[in-house]
Every structure is written in C-alpha cells, then in structure tokens.
Amino acid sequence: MFYDIVETALDLEALARAVRGLESGALVTFVGYVRERSDEGRPVDGLHYEAHRELALAELRVIGAEASERFGPARVAIVHRVGELALGEAAVAIAVAAAHRGVAFDACEYAIDELKKRVPIWKQERYVDGDASWRENT
C-alpha cells in the first residue's frame, strides 16, 4: 500500500496504480478538493494544511490496515497534501482496490472518516476578506 504526506499536487493516477491488481474487481477513489465556501458559507480564498508528518504517516498506515481487516481484503492508498492550496486543488485522496465493490466503498468511506478523526493534520481556512481560521476536522 501507499501512504504519503506531500507538498506538491496529488498524483491521482499513481495512487490508483499503487492499489490496483489483477485480483481487484473494484477500485473506489475519494478526492477532497478546496471549495469556494466554508461550512458557514464564508467565501474562501484557499487553505493551509500542516501535519506532524511521522505521526500522520503512522496513523494513515494503521487506518489502511484497519479498513482492510474490517471490510475484507483491500489494498488502500492515502495521500494528503500540506502547505498552501488554492481553490480547486486536491487536498486528500484515497484509493481502495478490492475484489468486490462493497468492500472497496466501505473501506474508502472508513478511511476518510477515520483520517478526519485521528490523523494529526490541521487545516486553516483563508477567507476572501483577509481573515483566517483554524478548523476542526469533522
């Protein structure tokens, strides 16, 4: 499997290749993008992410293993971006390959939900009006 914290644009094709195999009948991906409005409706100019790299990578590996154990054999890859991101850029991507689609969908959903809860990555929203706010992962 493949897990990384990067400062450059996410390579979604490489992520899919990292998990895909001849035993895979399904490939499910999730990509989280920087959107133009916050949850409260404030216009967003961009995001800034920070991470504790070593702890984040270790937790991503644990989440990937849990997803595979919990839902059935699956190959999981997770990459999260840090640094400054503009509107429309990919911040996080997950790819899950499994023999069947149900396993792949369930494992992918589990991975993003657990990432948001447990991985030491912090997001600061930058607003059009010049203000900024650190946000809780939910």
pLDDT digit string, tens, across residues 111-121: 999 999 999 99
Q: At what angle do helices 101-118 and 53-71 cross, to 10 degrees?
A: 150
The burial class, CB within 10 Å (0-12 / 13-18 / 19+), for 42 is middle
Phi, psi for 91 (deg, rounded to 5)? -100, -35
First CA to last CA across the chain, in angstroms? 25
Nearest to 91 by CA among 127, 131, 132, 47: 47
Domains and CATH numbers, the chain: 2-129 (3.90.1170.40)
pTM of the model: 0.96
Could you read off the pLDDT of 29-78 as tens digits, one per residue?
Answer: 999 999 999 999 999 999 999 999 999 999 999 999 999 999 999 999 99
